Amino acid sequence: MDLLRSPLHDRHVALGAKFAEFGGWEMPLEYGGVLGEHAAVRDGVGVFDVSHLGKALVRGPGAADFVNACLTADLGKIAPGQAQYTLCCAEDGGVVDDLIAYLRSPDEVFLIPNAVNTATVVELLRAAAPEGVEVLDQHRDFAVIAVQGTRSEEALTELGLPVDHDYMSFSTGVFDGTELTVCRTGYTGERGYELVVAAEAAPAVWDAVLAAGADHGIAPCGLGARDTLRTEMGYPLHGQDLSAEISPVMAGSSWTVGWDKPEFWGKEALEHQRAEKSGRVLRGLVAEGRGIPRPGMTVRDSGGEVVGEVTSGTFSPTLKQGIGLALLDRQIPDGQTVQVDVRRRTEPFTVTKPPFVTPSTTES
């Protein structure tokens, strides 16, 4: 099957990007190197094309109430103009997808699921939607440009876009006659914004962001840096740290669940898991030596007994050591040393609670 391409694909080719398949899309993995792109975000500003992310619109009378009865988080706790991280779960509690919900009004919710799961999320919502509520797949209609980093505000101010709204809220901006959504969200741990713009206008916005950020050290960044940045924050990746087999209770994501809501998909199963307090849970790992954990690696206790499995792992450019997320037996405490099977040898890691670096995301 041919891979889908972003509206910005030609821009990435011109910048010398190395590409990789991600969720059925051909997306930039890196431009000049993951370490430099990672540092650009932590120390200045980086710009990512994340147009592979899905886009769906739920609209009609009571659309927000309908979405709230399906997804885990409680939309009733936010107001129009705010966004919310939430999960779409199966009846057994497994995670179909994690996504961001933009509450536009009681009758309109814009959703950003993951690329590979967009069609599934749309199909599930359509099947459950009451009369008068429609679910539109807008995956190819919009691009998403993420401007992330300690100087992201300065870069967007140069373009006259709104930047002073609170974390997890969004505002409408206008660039060169084109209306776009500017949301204070991101996947890096740094202050940042995600621009949702019509696909045909995306190249001009991308060019303008790079030009506006030139004096602030802006760098185009690929999905390689996005992965190291999100891992340093302990942010889960669907398909690895959240999945059909890894529920929000197991993943330490119970905060994404509106437990007091009368209904949402998977409620009964998740309540049972929460009460039972058994099975493995997602924890952080920091290398004591030079080991770098990778997904699928076995985790053992000091006696050699298997106590878990790595779900995400990488070399942390900030800490200069290996870090990872792993599903571990519940009795393993923070601070304990465990052994990870790394390429036919065992390497010691300390169990800890993420994030591994100090975030600036929620700073005003």
pLDDT digits (tens, 9 = 90+) for 58-114: 999 999 999 999 999 999 999 999 999 999 999 999 999 999 999 999 999 999 999
Domain end call among 117, 136, 155: 136
Encode pLDDT of 279-288 as tens digits.
899 999 999 9
In a domain, 168, yes or no: yes
State percent of the chain over pLDDT 70. 99
In a domain, 78, yes or no: yes
Q: What are the CA-CA distances from residue 4 to residues 8, 24, 27, 140, 162 (Å)? A: 12, 6, 9, 10, 31
Whether this prediction's pTM lies above 0.85 is answered by yes
Confidence of residue 364 (pLDDT cuts 50, 70, 90): very low
In a domain, 182, yes or no: yes
In a domain, 328, yes or no: yes
6 and 27 Cβ atoms separated by less than 8 Å = yes
CATH assignment at residue 168: 3.30.1360.120
In a domain, 76, yes or no: yes
DSSP 191: S
Please state the rounded mean pLDDT for residues 193-202.
98
Judged against a pLDDT cut of 60, whether residue 214 lies above it is answered with yes
96 and 73, same structural domain? yes
Domain extent, residue 284, equals 279-352
In a domain, 266, yes or no: no
Domain end call among 233, 265, 298: 233
In a domain, 241, yes or no: no
In a domain, 205, yes or no: yes
Domain end call among 112, 136, 160: 136
282 and 325 Cβ atoms separated by less than 8 Å = yes
Distance CA 39, CA 101 (A): 29
Three-state DSSP state, 204: helix
65 and 45, same structural domain? no
28 and 233 Cβ atoms separated by less than 8 Å = no
158 and 20, same structural domain? yes
Encode pLDDT of 141-163 as tens digits.
999 999 999 999 999 999 999 99
Tell me what pLDDT residue 363 has: 52
Mean pLDDT of the chain, nearest integer? 97
Encode pLDDT of 122-134 as tens digits.
999 999 999 999 9
Distance CA 121, CA 115 (A): 10
223 and 168, same structural domain? yes
When divided into structural domains, the chain yields a total of 3
Three-state DSSP state, 271: helix
Encode pLDDT of 307-347 as tens digits.
999 999 999 999 999 999 999 999 999 999 999 999 889 99
154 and 48, same structural domain? yes
